[in-house]
Amino acid sequence: MPKSKKSSNPINLNDPQYYLNRELSWLQFNNRVLHEAFDSRTRLLERLKFLAIFSSNLDEFFMVRVAALQQQVEAKVSQLTPDGRTPQQQLDDIRLSLIPQVTKQHQHFEQEIRPLLARHGIHIVDYINLTSKQRKYLDNYFEDQIFPVLTPLAVDPSHPFPYISNLSLNLAVVVKNPDTEEEFFARVKVPSVLPRFLPLPPELAFQEDGQAANWIGVPLEQAIAHNLDSLFPGMNIQEYHPFRITRDADLALEEDEADDLLLAIEQELRKRRIGGSPVRIEIQSQTPEPIRTRLLQDLDLAEEDVYEVDGLLGLRDLMSFMSLPLPELKDPPRQSVVPPRLQRLREPSLDQDGLEVEEGKDFFSIIREKDLLVHHPYQSFSASVVRFITHAAHDPNVLAIKMTLYRTSGDSPIVNALIAAAENGKQVSVLVELKARFDEENNIYWARRLERVGVHVVYGLVGLKTHCKTVLVVRREKDRMRRYVHIGTGNYNQKTARLYTDLGLFSCREELGADITDLFNFLTGYSRQKSYREVLVAPVNMRDRFLELIRREITNVQNGFSGRIVAKMNSLVDPQIIATLYEASRAGVQIDLIIRGICCLRPGVKDISENIRIISIVGRFLEHSRIYYFHNNAQEEIYIGSADWMRRNLDRRVEVITPIKDTDIAKDLQEILGILLADNRQAWDLQPDGTYIQRHPGEDCPESHSQITLMNMALRSTGIAPNLLDAPKTSAYTDS
């Protein structure tokens, strides 16, 4: 039974001891990503991939989060985080937490993964271990392909220390003039336009036993280092040491002072290419003190900005090995299925006037039957979302299409469909969010291309990012106009839709269509809309409505009924939401949270959060969907949408959460939540101290039970599954 606590002593639920630090919680998440590289049940190249993802995640963490903290320290910001830390304390704790993680990553790569790769015929060889024939080939390759690209830069009184670009790998080189015995310092940039790992040709790719290898090659920086004589002729090469720089890469944008937002962002992107202030330097542990000191002085970095590693720098480049044609070393391919109802689709037959000459199951008639839920990547994004927009673009009865674009792919079929719609004479309006971090340049390209064909392009609202995922299609049907909508939890990107779990709802319910119409008026005009019929919109009414839903569960428990909340999201950070969840737990509401990334709530704390259990699922697919379930005294309400419970989502972004009205879809969503809560392969249980413990079903479980079950679920029609949220508690719910 849920535990309730009624104490005469009031408890301050805003006390810092009840909150976990956001940055340290993110490092815990990235550590769970790293664990996938350690798990022997994960296939070898997938383990290599997770090593690369760990490094790539860290790069972005330093470019954005650490850089922001350093700026706060420089500005002498004194405001404490909800967990009671100053900016400097956070920086200190980040380093304390991160150094053992980075050490563990590199040791694992060198001592475990690299030998395993060699056992499977993939040899990342040190240059000094090459045979004479292999070395001769690479020396010739250097002269032909690498040498022309390189630019050695001297550093002396007449040559100031050169600018080191963000995320660049470099060699610090010391050379000696043999005539004067004078030593000089130089920098050589390892060019990113060349492959980081240089393969040997098949005729030289043999293992020690004489068998042909799957791949043999060397790191690019080693090929350069062993040919430095060509760059410094007449000089003696004394030593060389690789180093890597990370810079502040967040955009400093004053939107309210920008006359042209697109131009302002383009100018900021030029600055980002150069990079802001350095925030981290990675060096090898054997780098001598004089070289280390010089780099720190010239880059204006402190000792605490140094991260030493044993082995190769920049392990994010290991991702390139995923292109090797070795399917036995990767996850087996999973083919997304066409949702059962969409398997009945046909293209409409039209007469010369553009009117349908026969009734049938086109996309719009499928939606008119009842709402449709799609679950990616288990169900095909291309066969559902892309087809919906493409169908609308070419349907002569469609008059208008409105859409939000936050992140899309470089060869987006959706954008091409919108262009076709405009060329077909339809009214097309698209909000392109130019401030989508690290996708700004791509979004500028698409915005300009859309504008050239007559699409009405809006760039967002001042002070807010438009993060919601919505499409509105207006269609003439006989003597009426009907609105069709899609509301999703993920981006309109067919590439990430194969990697991220996301949900989408298709509907033509009048109230929902009216709400999304009002939303687009809010986004494109001067609407001050304060209320909506069904949807929750941030920053308008979403925060207040979520708080009402949580407090309603509290009231139900206080009135003698049961209370239950299940929520799945990327991150839980918002202090007000957390404090209200604590109130619910103390009242006896049973709460299960599935939070992939950052979580600042401490579960299982006596008298505070004893009724709250939190898991994180990290595995093959990035858990990206958001689902919110409230028991509501058996009158269950369930919602999906784009928003996490974070301040930025609730207060500084335009987000949309929609209620699910169809009972069959509601059952499916409850089943999804139940499947995930019962996961025993890739789920981690959050402990009160902020650490996570992974569930272990045994070494004979190579794949996630939840992913297999969800794939099976995608193959059948909706509404025939039991409600797993009401199932008896298993070990998945056991408090550790």
CB atoms within 10 A of CB 351: 9
**Which residue among the candidates 35, 106, 467, 624 is catalytic per the annotation?**
467
Determine the Cα–Cα distance for residues 448 and 426; give it in Å rounded to an integer: 18
Residue 388: HSE in the Cβ half-sphere, 13 Å Cα cutoff = 31
**Nearest in space to 149 (alpha carbons), one of 180, 110, 119, 192:** 192
* Alpha carbon of residue 596 to chain centroid: 11
Please, are residues 563 and 555 in contact by the beta-carbon 8 Å criterion?
no
Please enumerate, as own/partner, the contacts of 295-299 that have beta carbons within 8 Å and a separation of 24 or more: 295/172, 295/243, 298/155, 298/161, 299/161, 299/164, 299/245
Which residues lie below 8 Å from residue 606, measured CB to CB, with a gap of 6+?
Answer: none
For every residue of 252-302, DSSP letters joined together read: ---GGG-S-HHHHHHHHHHHHHH-SSEEEEEEETT--HHHHHHHHHHHT--
Tell me the residue length of the chain.
736
Tokens of 313: 């720098």
Closest by Cα among 437, 426, 425, 430 to 415:
430
Closest CA to 450 of 479, 475, 414: 414
| Rounded-to-integer distance, Cα 634 and Cα 552, Å | 12
Give CA–CA dist 683/310, Å, rounded.
31
- Distant-in-sequence, close-in-space partners of 193: CB < 8 Å, separation ≥ 6: 149
Cα separation of 522 and 529, whole Å? 7
Distance of CA 516 to the CA centre of its chain: 26
CA 682/CA 704 separation, integer angstroms: 6
Pairwise CA distance, residues 45 & 55, whole Å: 16
375 is catalytic: no
Strand partners, 393: none
Q: Which SS3 state, helix, strand or coil, does residue 390 take?
A: helix
Residue 395 to residues 39, 52, 348, 471, Cα–Cα distance (Å): 50, 44, 9, 16
Asked whether the CA dihedral 179, 181, 183, 188 is positive or negative, the reply is positive
Sign of CA dihedral 31, 32, 35, 37: negative
Query: Among positive and negative, which fits the CA dihedral 345, 347, 349, 351?
Result: positive
**What separation in angstroms does the CA of 607 have from each of 4, 183, 346, 612, 656?**
8, 67, 58, 11, 34
Are 36 and 46 in contact by the 8 Å Cβ rule? The answer is yes
What are the φ and ψ backbone dihedral angles of 384, each rounded to 5 degrees? -120, -75
SS3 654: strand
Quote the Cα angle for 519-523-525, to 5°. 105
Helix runs in 324-411, H state only: 363-369, 387-394
Residue with tokens 């909706």: 718
Please give the structure tokens belonging to residue 608.
């505070």
What amino acid positions are annotated as catalytic residues?
467
